[in-house]
Amino acid sequence: MKRLLNMSLIPQTTWFDNVRSRVSRDKWDAIRVYFMKRQCQYCGRKYGLHCHEVWRYDDTLHIQKLAGFETACFLCHSVVHFGLAELMVERGDLDMGELIKHYCRVNGCTKEDFEQDRKEAFELWEERSRCDWTIDISYLDSLNITSTREWMRVHPDEVERVKDSYSDVTTKLV
């Protein structure tokens, strides 16, 4: 069943390769300002808001294409990135019970529905993680924030910083 709030697990082969890793901090801040709404687009919360990158997957050509950005509160953003949320639970930074209740409340479903949705999300993640993906961020070309050449510049220091912050726990997922 289609849910309002879904677990959208990023294939392991593209972890840490995202808009934030490909643009400077100033450009990312400009994107956030441009797209952030005053409340979560899933549950309506008005605090703890994050700018979430929305990706579409072509499972035949293995293209992960940026489709836009949404505003998500901390809990909704944690649901979307459920694999990372599990790591946060292990570290004591998030309560799994609270996260499950939030998922069920937003989607009007049961804990059993959550468990089935989680199982399906991780099955899809495993399948997609077996492939090498091409990242397509051409969506950014339609924005008047910066030029294409600037978007395409990769910022290795930022990628390494993000990877290092989770290096001790991401190995547990593999």
Cα–Cα distances (Å) from 100 to 79, 112, 129, in that order, read 8, 10, 24
What residue numbers bound the domain in which 47 lies?
12-170
Is 111 a domain residue? yes
Rounded to whole angstroms, the Cα distance separating 9 from 79 reads 10
Total domains, the chain: 1
State the alpha helices, DSSP H only, in the chain.
19-22, 25-35, 74-80, 82-91, 96-107, 111-128, 148-152, 156-170
pLDDT tens for the chain, 174 residues: list them. Answer: 679 999 999 999 999 888 888 888 888 888 888 898 999 999 999 999 999 999 999 999 999 999 999 999 999 999 999 999 999 999 999 999 999 999 999 999 999 999 999 999 999 999 999 999 999 988 888 776 654 444 444 444 444 444 454 444 444 444
Is 6 a domain residue? no
Q: pTM of the prediction?
A: 0.79
- Helices (runs of H) and strands (runs of E) counted in the chain: 8, 3
Is 83 a domain residue? yes
Is 4 a domain residue? no
Edge-to-edge strand list for the sheet holding 49-58: 49-58, 63-73, 134-136
Strand 134-136 to 49-58 pairing: unpaired
> Would you say 55 and 80 are in contact if contact means Cβ atoms under 8 Å apart?
no
Is 28 a domain residue? yes
Is 89 a domain residue? yes
